[in-house]
Copies of this chain bind each other. A is one copy, B any other.
Amino acid sequence: LRKLVRFGVSINSELLGKFDELIESKGYAKRSEAIRDLIRDYLVEHEWEKDAETMGAVTVVYDHHVRELTESLTALQHEFHSSIISSMHVHVDEHNCLEVVVIRGKGSKVKEIADRLISTKGVKHGKLTMTTTGKGLV
């Protein structure tokens, strides 16, 4: 059972005014939602610091004409198949592809797989996004 509680924050009115203005421009409909997002983001950061079970998304951009590159990336994903949940391929233009690989595991393991994907010869740009399984982040 999920229980909703309410807590109060004391704050200077000027600071609150600026915050309200900013979150409106970001598209938030309610202040509580923005506060919860700040809280959850702070918790996810900590999840990664303490090497807990988590999820990451690696984006790699590459030219599919590069010899054997597609094969290498596929082989790598098979090597780590137990940690890799899914991947998506986007055709950017005649040459360039963007691939997003979603990985689940301990933070250090996710980083290791990301390092391997990003360091593959021919990958032009790679980045790991540290996200979360969402578990416990109600």
Q: Which residues of A contact B (CB under 8 A)?
A: 2-16, 18-19, 22-23, 26-44, 46, 55, 57, 59, 61-63, 85-88, 90, 92-93, 95-98, 100, 102, 104, 115-116, 118-121, 123-127, 129-138
A100 and B57 contact, CB distance less than 8 A:
yes
A-B contact pairs, 8 of them (CB 8 A): A5-B16, A18-B43, A22-B46, A26-B116, A27-B116, A37-B119, A40-B125, A57-B57
B127 and A131 contact, CB distance less than 8 A:
yes
If A12-B3, A115-B26, A127-B129 touch, does A90 touch B96 (CB 8 Å cutoff)? no
Question: Contacting A11 at CB < 8 Å: which of B4, B14, B102?
Answer: B4
CB-CB under 8 A from A93, the residues of chain B are 133-135
Q: In chain B, what residue has the closest Cβ to A49?
A: B111
CB-CB under 8 A from A3, the residues of chain B are 12-14
Copies of this chain, how many?
4
CB-CB under 8 A from A37, the residues of chain B are 118-119, 123, 125-126
Q: In chain B, what residue has the closest Cβ to A127?
A: B129
Min CB distance, A25 to chain B, in Å?
Answer: 8
CB-CB under 8 A from A10, the residues of chain B are 4-6, 32
